[in-house]
Structure 1
Amino acid sequence: MNASTFSIIRFGAAALAIVSGSGLAFADGQDAHIAIENPAELSKQEALEHYRSLNRRMARGYAVAQLDLILNYQSWPLFNDAPYISATHGQRYVNSYANRMAHNYATLQEGEKLPMGSVLAKDSMTVTDEGHVHPGAMFVMEKLAEDASPDTADWRYIMVLPDGSVFGDTMGDRAGAVAYCHVCHEQVADRDYTFYVPEEYRTRD
């Protein structure tokens, strides 16, 4: 893959390290997502077609991580009507899933919180204007018990690579590798640290 395809969104000084088997470079320590410099501009229909061609492969890959909290995540409520580009996830096309515990995710008002046990999962895919299409990482948030993790407002952040490798877990191994997730989510502290789907991609009841 051409190195010019990627640029780095940085949240602090850190040395680069290559993640074995992933073909991606990440900053170790205060990490950053690798941003796709040339994402394809897709219609909703095109994005859906690409996702449908990959979704089973993606689910199998993430399942290798053996994380019960994302088991069968593609059967959860989906809050976007087509994959959309997320600047905060490296210009990848993402989907926003939430489990049944996160019943108020779509209607969350300022100052409200999601209940303990809520899990938000964003799977992702890379689509470049050169025609390269492949699975991306999954980004997971789990709402913990009160005071379980005061530094992250009781949110657990996990990043799972397409092959099922756990890149980082704020409550487990390589916690520092995903510490920047909460730094980013502090922008939406008034919405219990959760971003929502862009208006034009939201599902309609």
Structure 2
Amino acid sequence: MFSRLIALRLCLIYALSFAIVDARQALAQSGGEDAHLAIENPAELSKEEALQIYTSLQKRMAQGYAAAQFEQLRNYQNWPLFNDAPYISATHGQRFVNSYANRMAHNYGTLQEGEKLPTGSVLAKDSMTVTDEGNTHPGALFVMEKLAEGTSPETADWRYIMVMPDGSLFGDTMGDRADNVAYCHDCHEAVADRDYTFFVPEEYVVGN
């Protein structure tokens, strides 16, 4: 329990660093100071409001991420979606996020303690910032890919990728700028008993 609390505290520290990155991205897109304050002031949205905003940004987000040219992320928005509306994730810089998983990750929604996702599973969490001033813009795309056993023992065979809204690569643990996302696994160690994967808050799970 103590080690899990430490890991969760690290997650919040890393979330702050994500917030700084997101704020810089927002400034580049909007040119205004309000966007810089967005992460500190996320809007309080109903599920319907969050869905409406996501729908308005969805196509733009998909086109932006596609510029990264990761084949395993092609048409990710057509994958099974495990939340019924975007929800705020403290560990992703107070962004509103969605949790998608490809068909290989067939047991993502029912994963029990000690079970693992199969090789080839890909989890994609896209994000958007919505401020209480009414500013909205796409955030980063966070990706986990389950590699063949023994490929990356230090990350329990998980590959972590972070793609910025314009398709630029922030980091890839198996490729360029690996150091930028090396901390991702440290955060996910808090849920090692669920194969290092966080799941959707209960009140946002599809069907609840």
After TM superposition, give the deviation of residue 36 of structure 1 in Å.
1.1
Say whether 1:65 aligns with 2:68: yes
**Residues of 2 paired with 1:179 and 1:71: CA distance?**
24
1:129-179 deviation line (CA, Å, top 9, x unaligned): 011100000000000000100010000000000000010000000101001
Say whether 1:131 aligns with 2:134: yes
Confirm or deny: 8 A CA contact 1:35 1:90 kept in the other structure: no
Distance 1:18 1:41, change over 3 A: closer
The answer for the alignment partner of 1:28 in structure 2 is: none
Structure 2 portions without partners, runs of 5+: 1-11, 29-36
**Residues of 1 paired with 2:57 and 2:26: CA distance?**
18
Indicate which of 151, 154, 157 corresponds to 1:154: 157
Output aligned runs, 1:95-106, within 5 Å.
Answer: 95-106=98-109
TM-score (norm 1): 0.85
The answer for the alignment partner of 1:44 in structure 2 is: 47
Segments of 4+ moved more than 2 angstroms: 21-25
One-letter amino acid matched to 2:121 = S
Which protein has the bigger helix share? 2
After TM superposition, give the deviation of residue 22 of structure 1 in Å.
2.6
By relative contact order (CA 8 Å, sep 6+), the higher-ranking structure is 2
Structure 1 portions without partners, runs of 5+: 1-8, 26-33
1:173-197 deviation line (CA, Å, top 9, x unaligned): 0101001110100000000000000
Confirm or deny: 8 A CA contact 1:124 1:138 kept in the other structure: yes
**Residues of 1 paired with 2:21 and 2:146: CA distance?**
30
The answer for the alignment partner of 1:198 in structure 2 is: 201
Aligned residue-pair number: 185
Kindly, what percent of the aligned residue pairs are identical?
76
One-letter amino acid matched to 1:196 = F
SS of structure 2 residue aligned to 1:177: helix
Root mean square deviation of aligned Cα: 2.3
Say whether 1:121 aligns with 2:113: no
SS of structure 2 residue aligned to 1:22: helix
SS of structure 1 residue aligned to 2:206: coil
After TM superposition, give the deviation of residue 66 of structure 1 in Å.
0.3
**Residues of 1 paired with 2:207 and 2:43: CA distance?**
26
TM-score (norm 2): 0.84
Confirm or deny: 8 A CA contact 2:96 2:127 kept in the other structure: yes
